[in-house]
Structure 1
Amino acid sequence: MSTPQQSELRVAVVGAGRMGSDHVDRLAHHTLRSRVSAVVDVDRERAAAVAATAGDAAGEPQVFSSVDELLTAEAADAVVLATPGFLHEEALLKLLDAGIPALCEKPLTPDPDSALRVVEAEVAAGRQLIQVGFMRRFDAGYRRLKDAIASGELGELLMLHHQHRNPEAPAEFTDEMIIHDSVVHEFDAVRYFTGEEITDVSVRIGRTTSRTGNVRDPQLVTVQTESGLLATVEIFVNAQIGYQVHTQATFENGLVKIGEGSEVEVTTAGRTGVTVDAGFVTRFRDAYDLEVQQWVDATLRGEIAGPSAWDGYATAACCAAGVAAQQSRTVERVALAPKPSFYAAATGSPALA
């Protein structure tokens, strides 16, 4: 386990798939004061292949096929958890029991009941050890909008409008996954921007694209916060145009738009246009880099630097309400357990430096 006196953090990456391998590369080659000490995956050969990309003068990371093996070997001070969400609860409970800090990719867990169990276990442990990977909070545009809201320079924030578009969804993508895999980010964004909990969710489905399988697409999600602020989300996972995440904030005295910073406008041969990102990894690359760097630095100080386990639980509760709203076509209330005083801040946020 890390101590404030450490100058380098030994990090194990659990899960050697797309996100896990991306984090291994980031930690090994772009993050200061960290070293990839282990890679864990049920597919040991895949873990070994990913570990080989992170070798340095000290050698290659150790390879394990389970969290239990990792903990027995005492091979890490902290963990980046990048396995599928249904595996998170078991791993997080073991890490909490061992006192190991974790950066857990979203979701904390796939449902509010299991997420609440993780929250209760962390409260019982007596220290915040879990940070949830809502990387958008570390995006430069998100941070500027958060600052504009906090400053009050444009008056009171009245409404938020989000557009979330993917080029295409896998054939197995479902209506429920639209909420759990995509709109979950907007649920967290609304909570981040407002500092409030979401109280209700509704989903409307109208005309649908011909390029769809098991999912009705696009969908319009509306949420309301404790103070009455409304936010909309246009979620379109088969948009064909690339990956876009835009937000417009309506204030009493103006508008703020974010999400176009990574697009480059080119004029040539009598035409002007922009290149749209191919996916979330390129769109939010800088945000991921900052998220992991600040998590490493905070962990060395014995802290977390972003969304907490409570934030993970609250978004899981929003997702449950969202899926219910898809089915009922009515407004669904978000059911939240009482918030433990252990979580002092309403929504964990990165530093705005």
Structure 2
Amino acid sequence: MPIPGPSPAAPPSPVPPSAAPLGVAVLGAGAMGADHVRRVDQLISGARVAAVADPDEARAAALAAGIDGCRAFPDPLAALDAAGVDAVLIASPGPAHEEALLAALDRDLPVLCEKPMVPDPEAALRVVEAEAKGGRPLVSVGFMRRFDAEHLRLKALLDAGELGAPRLLHCRHRNLAVHPYFTEEMLITDSVAHEFDAARWLLGQEVTAVQVFRPTAGLPGHTGVNDPQLVVFETDGGVVVDVEILANGGFGYQVQTEAVCERGTARIGEAHGLMTNAAGRWGGEIARDYLTRFADAYDREVRAWVAAVRRGATAGATAWDGYAAAAIGAAGVEAQRTGRRVPVELAPRPAPFMNAV
């Protein structure tokens, strides 16, 4: 069945006249936040960076420097209250998301929140309920694959039914390396979270159960993470999805998906960048990270979000999608820990999220 989203009930929040740029507060000045500050400042028409917040105020100030009218704050809530802020882009670490989201909703500010919306399903449900109580759609969640050109082509192909009904999805998610603080649970909650959302979106089906398989020995030299792992999940439409997750591949960043359908297959993510043929050899480039591979998707996502805010709507994944990813992730972590097949339990959907977008 189609994945529902919030219905566009209630009048939109006030936003600047169409001629005035949308003032965006960016929370988080790390790699993701810095990339979004650059994007909004240099690439997105109709928006400007009004504030940057980070506990490291010097880092926030460095990003704000040179942007007219932009102020730096160590406190994210102070940034939400800054003059000229009309909307919020959350790119801080996941554990800080709930407070920022609830504060933005309390101020009736539209939000684009990077994934994970929040790390655990209980907190995610609190965000869903707070948005539903407000009566208007305000939260968009940054599952950027929904804006990637290749994923959009695969989605259109599956929706059109040209290959018949999908039966399997084979996915690969490979990283160059991860930070020292990266844990084995984060393979599920931070990395495979993308596949959880992409599968729900591509198939229009809910995930019902998860199982995780681990090799007897992980890659050498990476303590704390048994790597790679195979995550298998089932949907309420009878599709089986397998995901190879490799956190420390050492060669680059790859995201690939193959749909096996009744009358054929379709595959995306095969190659990106320059390909060469010379001296009896062929070769090409592999993106180093997600910011490179999905740069265009991030641009499309933020552009769509700014346009949606002006319409009083959301763009891409909703707060309910963020909650669903967290609930599937919790089942995945339990499956990873126990080796068992774990059912996914979703709370009843609040009324504003019952109708399809």
Other-structure match for 1:192: 201
Q: Is 1:62 equivalent to 2:71 in the alignment? A: yes
Between the aligned partners of 1:44 and 1:266, the Cα distance in structure 2 is 45
Other-structure match for 1:73: 82
Per mean C-alpha deviation after superposition, the further-off stretch among 76-85 and 259-268 is 259-268
Between the aligned partners of 1:89 and 1:245, the Cα distance in structure 2 is 28
Between the aligned partners of 2:280 and 2:213, the Cα distance in structure 1 is 40
| Code of the aligned partner of 1:37 | A
Q: Please report how far the alpha carbon of residue 322 of structure 1 lies from its aligned counterpart in structure 2 after TM superposition.
A: 0.5
Local SS of the residue matching 2:205 = coil
Matching of residues 16-35 of structure 1 within 5 Å? 16-35=29-48
Query: Residues 63 and 4 (structure 1 numbering): CA distance in 2 closer, same or farther, change over 3 Å?
Result: closer
Matching of residues 287-302 of structure 1 within 5 Å? 287-302=297-312
The answer to whether the Cα contact below 8 Å between 2:132 and 2:351 also exists between their aligned partners in 1 is no
Q: Please report how far the alpha carbon of residue 4 of structure 1 lies from its aligned counterpart in structure 2 after TM superposition.
A: 7.5
Other-structure match for 1:170: 179
Between the aligned partners of 1:108 and 1:81, the Cα distance in structure 2 is 9
Between the aligned partners of 1:71 and 1:255, the Cα distance in structure 2 is 47
Q: Please report how far the alpha carbon of residue 146 of structure 1 lies from its aligned counterpart in structure 2 after TM superposition.
A: 0.4
Q: 2:332 aligns with which of 322, 329, 333?
A: 322
Q: Is 1:143 equivalent to 2:152 in the alignment? A: yes
The answer to whether the Cα contact below 8 Å between 1:171 and 1:214 also exists between their aligned partners in 2 is no
Q: Is 1:336 equivalent to 2:346 in the alignment? A: yes
Query: Residues 30 and 15 (structure 1 numbering): CA distance in 2 closer, same or farther, change over 3 Å?
Result: same
Q: Please report how far the alpha carbon of residue 14 of structure 1 lies from its aligned counterpart in structure 2 after TM superposition.
A: 0.9
Q: Please report how far the alpha carbon of residue 272 of structure 1 lies from its aligned counterpart in structure 2 after TM superposition.
A: 0.3
Structure 1 unpaired stretches of 5+? 349-353
Q: Please report how far the alpha carbon of residue 261 of structure 1 lies from its aligned counterpart in structure 2 after TM superposition.
A: 4.8
Between the two proteins, the alignment pairs up a number of residues equal to: 343
Other-structure match for 2:266: 256
Query: Residues 171 and 73 (structure 1 numbering): CA distance in 2 closer, same or farther, change over 3 Å?
Result: closer
Q: Please report how far the alpha carbon of residue 115 of structure 1 lies from its aligned counterpart in structure 2 after TM superposition.
A: 0.3
Local SS of the residue matching 2:44 = coil
Q: Is 1:276 equivalent to 2:301 in the alignment? A: no
Matching of residues 76-95 of structure 1 within 5 Å? 76-95=85-104
Q: 1:242 aligns with which of 252, 265, 289?
A: 252
Query: Residues 72 and 280 (structure 1 numbering): CA distance in 2 closer, same or farther, change over 3 Å?
Result: closer
Percent same amino acid among aligned pairs?
A: 48
Between the aligned partners of 2:182 and 2:73, the Cα distance in structure 1 is 31
| Code of the aligned partner of 1:82 | A
Q: Please report how far the alpha carbon of residue 68 of structure 1 lies from its aligned counterpart in structure 2 after TM superposition.
A: 2.6
Q: Please report how far the alpha carbon of residue 277 of structure 1 lies from its aligned counterpart in structure 2 after TM superposition.
A: 0.5
The answer to whether the Cα contact below 8 Å between 2:167 and 2:238 also exists between their aligned partners in 1 is no
Query: Residues 345 and 206 (structure 1 numbering): CA distance in 2 closer, same or farther, change over 3 Å?
Result: farther
**Higher RCO structure, 1 or 2 (CA under 8 Å, sep 6+):** 2
The answer to whether the Cα contact below 8 Å between 1:171 and 1:213 also exists between their aligned partners in 2 is no
Structure 2 unpaired stretches of 5+? 1-12
TM-score, normalising length: structure 2 = 0.93
Local SS of the residue matching 1:63 = strand
Between the aligned partners of 1:206 and 1:164, the Cα distance in structure 2 is 16
Q: Please report how far the alpha carbon of residue 75 of structure 1 lies from its aligned counterpart in structure 2 after TM superposition.
A: 3.0
The answer to whether the Cα contact below 8 Å between 1:40 and 1:65 also exists between their aligned partners in 2 is yes
Q: Indicate the RMSD between aligned Cα atoms, in angstroms.
A: 1.4
Between the aligned partners of 1:258 and 1:345, the Cα distance in structure 2 is 30
Query: Residues 73 and 170 (structure 1 numbering): CA distance in 2 closer, same or farther, change over 3 Å?
Result: closer
Between the aligned partners of 1:292 and 1:298, the Cα distance in structure 2 is 10
Local SS of the residue matching 1:256 = strand
Between the aligned partners of 2:219 and 2:72, the Cα distance in structure 1 is 44
| Code of the aligned partner of 1:182 | S
Per mean C-alpha deviation after superposition, the further-off stretch among 259-268 and 296-305 is 259-268
Other-structure match for 1:202: 211
Q: Please report how far the alpha carbon of residue 206 of structure 1 lies from its aligned counterpart in structure 2 after TM superposition.
A: 1.4
Other-structure match for 1:110: 119
Local SS of the residue matching 2:180 = coil
TM-score, normalising length: structure 1 = 0.94
Between the aligned partners of 1:300 and 1:210, the Cα distance in structure 2 is 50
The answer to whether the Cα contact below 8 Å between 1:2 and 1:78 also exists between their aligned partners in 2 is no
Matching of residues 5-24 of structure 1 within 5 Å? 5-7=17-19, 8-24=21-37
